[in-house]
């Protein structure tokens, strides 16, 4: 085993704390629900502390991968548990740590089969941490599947049906099955691309760092890159979610419990875009140059179509779900630009959107728990009984709409400016998407918290205690801090995006040629 400085106390802590907690919960009696919750809070709290330390201690002057852990596994195949983070990974690890800690607190509303719920939830958390920290193709895919599989029982058992006027639009079983089928199909497509990449390298290693160094001087043939690149983009794009493979996502959001929706929209959707950056764009620059213009075109459909469909929804979770599909279009557009502004904005938007959508789903969950409905025409006037939740709801709507002062504004501005020189029409349509977002978010806020009160609703109670308010405060403050002072995170992201851009836009160095033999020479 090789451990570099600080890795054992930070990355290992971040990854192993929720994994160890899920195993420990197997030994806790089911009737001890209070201890189950305390263990989950402690585990995610430790991961959050480790993530904060990683971001704080990351050395931007050195850049590259830091806090590395290498544990050989199958040496004959070149497979090892290689963990490490660069600036991109560090930011996303912090995002996941924030969302998972807040999600565990929001999960206090779960009353049925608490032990089993938290076991699956902690496995999901472990899988996402593993994806963001894995520098080995095999374990990257292993943790990716670990993050996807728990979604089926979490949605199918603890979720709820999507209803309108008392009529079931989508059952939770249907939502769980559709989610699983789509993500599994995408994962199989991505697996084909990863195996092809492994075999095509000729190195008999799945270490991402080794592949990056090798491909910098001896890249895969252009025609091979052209075929592998779309496999990875489409396979991982399903979870992004990329149009037209997005339809599973809003339904999954709507049927899932609130805390699961927080991780689903806040973090799980970022796995796809992260994989595209880390594996597709970074390792196959020729493929990126060919296919990214097409990705920019699909982004427009994500942004405009997702926003227009969100405007037509009346279920609060469906509105936020289609909104998330729309906002992820900005992330994919930023990736497609291959410019420092665009790619930095894409990663920052992953962070900002993750916080915002986690906050939004937490708020919707509280409203549903208190009123037993998410149907917009049945709501109204909740700002009076729920002043704190209403305030957080307005803040989330402002962040989603891209108002200055919130992290989303900075990130979306960087994406649009980065796209302006390369993809002028998608950039203009992205601005139109901001207007569409403002329309449905203002409609959501007005219909839920203002206007006439529905007297038929049960009496709603606000989040009154400091403990109940803690997750909302954490997410809101993080949005405001990064929105008002984005420079530290952008600087951290920039040291890792620039090498990727340089590899993608510069042709590979020519291999040395043998000198020509003079005519007639023997």
Q: Which long-range contacts (CB under 8 A, 24 or more apart) does 431-437 make?
A: 432/304, 433/303, 433/304, 433/307, 433/326, 433/329, 433/330, 434/401, 434/402, 436/304, 436/307, 436/308, 436/310, 436/311, 436/326, 437/307, 437/310, 437/323, 437/326, 437/327, 437/400, 437/401, 437/402
- List, for residues 436-491, the tens digit of each pLDDT value: 998 999 999 998 888 787 777 777 788 888 888 999 999 999 999 999 999 999 99
Mean pLDDT, all residues of the chain: 86
Say how far apart CA 497 and CA 154 lie, in whole Å: 35
455 compared with 124, residue with greater pLDDT: 124
The pLDDT of residue 516 is 41
pLDDT at 5 over 70: no
pLDDT (tens digit, 9 = 90+) per residue, 33-75? 889 999 999 999 999 999 999 999 988 888 788 888 888 888 8
Mean pLDDT of 231-239: 89
Predicted model pTM: 0.90
Count the Cβ atoms, other than its own, within 10 Å of residue 434: 21
**Residue 8 clears pLDDT 60, i.e. is over it:** no
Query: In the structure, what pLDDT confidence band is assigned to residue 514 with cuts at 50, 70 and 90?
Result: very low
- HEC readout, 178-226: HHHHHHHHHHHHHHHHHHHHHHHHCCCCCEHHHHHHHHHHCCCCHHHHH
Question: What is the secondary structure of 333-347 as a DSSP string?
Answer: HHHHH-SHHHHHHHH
Token pair belonging to 391: 């305030």
**For the segment 99-119, what is each residue's pLDDT rounded down to a tens digit?**
999 999 998 888 888 899 999
Q: 130-183: per-residue pLDDT in tens? A: 999 999 999 999 999 999 889 889 988 888 877 776 677 778 888 888 888 888
* pLDDT tens digits, one per residue of 407-440: 989 999 999 998 888 888 888 888 898 899 989 9
pLDDT in tens, 357-396: 999 999 998 888 888 888 888 888 888 888 899 999 999 9
1: pLDDT strictly greater than 70: no
pLDDT greater than 70 at residue 213: yes
Element at 497 (helix H, strand E): helix 487-505
Residue 220's pLDDT band, with cuts at 50, 70 and 90, is confident
Give the pLDDT confidence score for residue 166 in this predicted structure.
Answer: 67
CA distances from 287 to 205, 226, 272 (A): 21, 5, 17
Pick 80 or 515 by higher pLDDT. Answer: 80
* In contact, 377 and 486? CB cutoff 8 Å: no
pLDDT of residue 511: 44
Torsion on CA atoms 400, 313, 273, 414, rounded to nearest 10: -30
Average pLDDT over residues 349-361: 93
284-327 tens-digit pLDDT: 888 888 888 888 888 888 888 888 988 888 888 888 888 888 88
Mean pLDDT for the stretch of residues 5-17: 76
- State what percent of residues in the chain have pLDDT above 90: 34
Kindly tell me if the per-residue pLDDT of 512 is higher than 60: no
């Amino acid at each position: 085993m090789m451990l570099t400085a600080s890795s054992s106390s930070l990355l290992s802590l971040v990854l192993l704390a929720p994994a160890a907690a899920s195993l420990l919960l197997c030994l806790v009696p089911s009737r001890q629900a209070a201890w189950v919750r305390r263990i989950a809070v402690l585990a995610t709290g430790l991961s959050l502390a480790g993530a904060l330390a990683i971001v704080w201690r990351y050395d931007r002057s050195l850049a590259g991968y830091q806090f590395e852990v290498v544990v050989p596994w199958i040496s004959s195949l070149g497979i090892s548990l290689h963990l490490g983070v660069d600036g991109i990974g560090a930011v996303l690890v912090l995002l996941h740590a924030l969302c998972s800690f807040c999600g565990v607190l929001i999960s206090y509303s779960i009353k049925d089969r608490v032990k089993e719920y938290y076991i699956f939830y902690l496995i999901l958390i472990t899988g996402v941490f593993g994806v963001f920290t894995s520098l080995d193709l095999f374990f990257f895919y292993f943790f990716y599947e670990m993050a996807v599989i728990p979604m089926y029982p979490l949605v199918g058992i603890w979720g709820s049906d999507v209803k309108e006027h008392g009529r079931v639009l989508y059952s939770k079983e249907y939502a769980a099955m559709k989610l699983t089928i789509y993500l599994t199909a995408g994962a199989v497509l991505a697996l084909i691309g990863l195996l092809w990449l492994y075999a095509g390298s000729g190195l008999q290693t799945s270490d991402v760092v080794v592949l990056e160094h090798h491909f910098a001087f001896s890249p895969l043939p252009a025609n091979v890159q052209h075929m592998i690149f779309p496999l990875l983009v489409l396979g991982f794009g399903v979870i992004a979610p990329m149009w037209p493979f997005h339809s599973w996502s809003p339904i999954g959001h709507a049927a899932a419990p609130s805390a699961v929706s927080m991780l689903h929209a806040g973090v799980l959707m970022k796995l796809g875009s992260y994989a595209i950056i880390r594996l597709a764009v970074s390792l196959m620059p020729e493929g990126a140059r060919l296919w990214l213009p097409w990705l920019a075109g699909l982004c427009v459909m994500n942004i405009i179509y997702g926003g227009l469909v969100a405007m037509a929804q009346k279920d609060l979770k469906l509105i936020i779900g289609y909104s998330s599909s729309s906002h992820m279009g900005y992330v994919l557009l930023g990736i497609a630009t291959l410019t420092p502004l665009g790619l930095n904005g894409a990663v920052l938007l992953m962070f900002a959107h993750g916080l915002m959508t986690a906050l939004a789903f937490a708020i919707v969950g509280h409203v549903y728990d208190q009123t037993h409905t998410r149907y917009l025409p049945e709501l109204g006037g909740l700002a009076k009984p729920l002043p704190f939740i209403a305030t957080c709801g307005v803040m989330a709507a402002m962040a989603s709409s891209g108002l200055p002062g919130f992290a989303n504004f900075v990130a979306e501005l960087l994406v649009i400016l980065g796209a302006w020189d390369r993809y002028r029409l998608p950039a203009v349509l992205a601005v139109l998407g901001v207007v569409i977002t403002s329309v449905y978010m203002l409609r959501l806020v007005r219909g839920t918290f203002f206007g006439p009160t529905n007297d038929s609703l049960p009496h709603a109670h606000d989040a009154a205690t400091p403990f109940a308010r803690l997750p909302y405060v954490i997410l809101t403050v993080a949005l405001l801090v990064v929105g008002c002072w984005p420079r530290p995170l952008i600087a951290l992201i920039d040291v890792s995006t620039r090498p990727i851009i340089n590899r993608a836009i510069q042709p590979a160095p020519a291999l040395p040629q043998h000198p020509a033999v003079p005519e007639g020479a023997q």
